Structure 1
Amino acid sequence: MSAAIDRRRAIAQSVATALAWSTLGPSAWAQSAATAARPAPAAAKAAKLAGTVRIVIPANAGGGWDQTGRALGAAMVAAGAADQVEYENIGGKGGTIGLAKYAEKYSNDPNTLLMGGMVMVGAVALQKPAVDMTHIQPLARLTSDYLVAAVAANSPIKTTKDLADAMRADLKAVPIAGGSAGGVDHIYAGVLARAAKANPEGLVYKPFPGGAEVVEAVLSGNAALGLSGYSEFNDAIASGKLRAVGVSSRRSVFGLPSFREQGLDAVMANWRGVFTGKGVPAARAAEMLAAVEAATHHESWLRTLKQNRWEPSWLTGKDLAEFMELDLTTARVMVYLLKLKA
């Protein structure tokens, strides 16, 4: 059977998944991010890649990719893969600006990694940029996270029912703040609107480069609802400035109830991973992958997972390539079904 036929079947499957989502709810998509079985732990110490390793983070400081990239870098140093790690933040447009600059500058660099994930997949699906994810090599999916929907403490929206009623009555009156246009927050805003039986065409989505800006948008009244990862909302929720309404998981997490448990079928998982340049030889890519794997078994990485409530979702090789193809095609169909605009 030819590769072209295999690809067509994969696309057909993803379209079927997306169409099933449109009639049965978003749980079908959430299943595509299921955690793969983790291989046996790697050696405690990694072979050194270089004295200095660079990690390009296609987002501003403080967000989920930044937190993940810096945690990975610290674990790589701790595991012996490098003496030091330099970080380069290039924010904007759901990671597609950083993606383009990385592909231009570091495509053949054997010591530079790129962070990415579902946000970038959604941004590529929405924006259709000249430089897309075919210009980089995926190494590993690292984590999965869930989105928290939060309102200001004084908001009249206190429950999931309140939110659904408000969205159904006048979606334009419930502006939603989140990450970059086309990213997972944007798509999930459409998911919430559809689950509430509101018209997605009325969605008012306000994109921001980081979680801190999303919090400020909600607190200032610039947005009625904010969407972000738990680690980015945790302090504001703990201090009482924000009140969580629901989480995009199937069951309660972070001590917060899921939307699904509250009668709104809005389930979605956000994944993050690490990539290398398209021009990096296979042998070197394998060395980089081994170093990343060793880092993810190190105590410092495991401690970060626990602190941020991230779920490990290790995936590599052919399985990762197929997962990403399905994810991208599904995102493209979601952009169409939810009538999202860049």
Structure 2
Amino acid sequence: MPRSSPGKLSRRNFNAWMAGAAAAAGAGHALLWPRLAGAAEPQLVSRLRIVIPANEGGGWDQTGRALGAALLASGAAGEVVYENIGGKGGTIGLAKYVEKYDADPDTLLMSGMVMVGAVALQKPAVTLAQVAPVARLTSDYEVVAVKADSPIKTPKDLIAQLRADAAKTVIAGGSAGGVDHMYAGMLARVAGSTAGLVYQPYPGGAQVVEALATGKAVAGISGFSEFSAGLSNGTLRAIGVSSKRPFLGIPSVREQGVDADLANWRGVLTGKKVPADRKAVLLEAVHRATTADIWQKTIKRNNWDAYWMAGKDFESFLDLDLAMAGPMIYLLKLKA
């Protein structure tokens, strides 16, 4: 891993460091930027664009804007702009990102398990093979919620209703093929059949909450941060969470006798044609942002699990996730 010594930084030394940085990034190592003795950390990117492949207000949007705020607060970026491109589990945003920013050294793409599932389900022309991983940022769990006055009190109650009348047990969640849809399929499979699952996809958590509040859906699946307001004001009631253990005071679905657990993740990617040395700079900028106080406070406030992963580890993780998504979609018989 390239390191610097204090003192004067010459052009020759800097060029040598950059060559080493590119190699370190390719090997999956975190980078330490050279610093003059007593100097502040250097700005790494003057203007950075974050493409968020979802509408404003959802989990990807929250994460992308939180990352942008941390990039600014840490001094890693001088300016951050956001571009929301929603639709079809992030696959529309993915396609436009590849079209417009494949070689752009100053543009990141938010991604995560939702996009992995949507690509597996929809089989679009542009896939995740056409972008390059930078870092995984967070893990999140699926909360299963119902309207506050719903007769469904536990996950077993929901399973019983799915068995009794799946056609009238509408489950609302995010995009088709995404992690919410996968988890709905897992619950339906426990109930005995995924063939009758009625899943209603929505572009964001706010619409899922509305579907529950208006009776359009019997149950909803989303991240805690998207349900938090409804849970706090008494509109919704959580009946379980997809973690293996209790999370934020919510008992896990598994510990209540329903064998279904699943974790979501969110991270950032870059263009396939972005040079290795520039990817190293972007990685260092994102890493610095995640050590900033504002990022740590956002993680705590939104009840996300910080889950840093980069380099070869993240590449291997993403390859495995992509390999597993197709069989899971097939096994659960999910439909677009």
Please report the TM-score for the alignment, with normalisation by the length of structure 2. Answer: 0.88
Q: 1:71 aligns with which of 45, 57, 66?
A: 66
Q: 2:170 aligns with which of 169, 172, 175?
A: 175
Question: For the structure 1 residues 46 and 179, does the alpha-carbon distance in structure 2 shift closer, same or farther, using more than 3 Å as the test?
Answer: farther
Shift of 1:328: 1.1
Residue matched to 1:327:
321
User: Which amino acid in the other structure matches residue 316 of structure 1?
Assistant: A
Give the whole-Å Cα distance in 2 for the aligned partners of 1:41 and 1:256: 40
CA contact (8 A) 1:125 1:332 kept: yes
Give the whole-Å Cα distance in 1 for the aligned partners of 2:173 and 2:127: 22
User: Which amino acid in the other structure matches residue 228 of structure 1?
Assistant: S
Give the whole-Å Cα distance in 2 for the aligned partners of 1:88 and 1:148: 28
User: Which amino acid in the other structure matches residue 162 of structure 1?
Assistant: D
**Structure 1 residue 299 and structure 2 residue 278: aligned?**
no
Misfit runs of 4+, over 4 Å: 38-46
Structure 1 residues 250-261: aligned runs within 5 Å: 250-261=244-255
Residue matched to 2:242:
248
- Pick which of 159-168 and 267-276 moved more: 159-168
**Structure 1 residue 50 and structure 2 residue 18: aligned?**
no
CA contact (8 A) 1:185 1:227 kept: yes
Higher gyration radius (CA): 2
Residue matched to 2:7:
none
Residue matched to 1:311:
305
Residue matched to 1:13:
none
DSSP 3-state at the match of 2:54 = coil
Residue matched to 2:258:
264
* 5+ long unaligned stretches in structure 1: 1-37
Shift of 1:81: 1.4
Q: 1:287 aligns with which of 270, 281, 286?
A: 281
Residue matched to 2:115:
120
CA contact (8 A) 1:247 1:253 kept: yes
Deviations 1:98-142 (A, max 9, x none): 000000001111111110000000000000100000111110011
Shift of 1:198: 2.6
Aligned length: 304
DSSP 3-state at the match of 1:200 = coil
Deviations 1:277-334 (A, max 9, x none): 1110000001000010000000000001101111111111111111111111111001
Shift of 1:51: 2.3
Give the whole-Å Cα distance in 2 for the aligned partners of 1:220 and 1:53: 40
DSSP 3-state at the match of 1:114 = strand
Question: For the structure 1 residues 248 and 255, does the alpha-carbon distance in structure 2 shift closer, same or farther, using more than 3 Å as the test?
Answer: same
Shift of 1:192: 1.0
Residue matched to 1:9:
none
Deviations 1:23-44 (A, max 9, x none): xxxxxxxxxxxxxxx9799999
Residue matched to 1:32:
none
Root-mean-square deviation over aligned CA pairs: 1.7
Give the whole-Å Cα distance in 2 for the aligned partners of 1:266 and 1:88: 35
Residue matched to 1:102:
97
* 5+ long unaligned stretches in structure 2: 1-28
CA contact (8 A) 1:141 1:271 kept: yes
CA contact (8 A) 1:46 1:294 kept: no
Q: 2:196 aligns with which of 191, 196, 202?
A: 202
Question: For the structure 1 residues 214 and 146, does the alpha-carbon distance in structure 2 shift closer, same or farther, using more than 3 Å as the test?
Answer: same
**Structure 1 residue 84 and structure 2 residue 79: aligned?**
yes
Shift of 1:61: 0.5
User: Which amino acid in the other structure matches residue 258 of structure 2?
Assistant: L
Residue matched to 1:185:
180
Shift of 1:46: 5.0
Residue matched to 1:142:
137
Residue matched to 2:18:
none
User: Which amino acid in the other structure matches residue 279 of structure 1?
Assistant: K
User: Which amino acid in the other structure matches residue 94 of structure 2?
Assistant: L
Question: For the structure 1 residues 113 and 212, does the alpha-carbon distance in structure 2 shift closer, same or farther, using more than 3 Å as the test?
Answer: same
% identical equivalent positions: 62
**Structure 1 residue 158 and structure 2 residue 153: aligned?**
yes
CA contact (8 A) 1:55 1:112 kept: yes
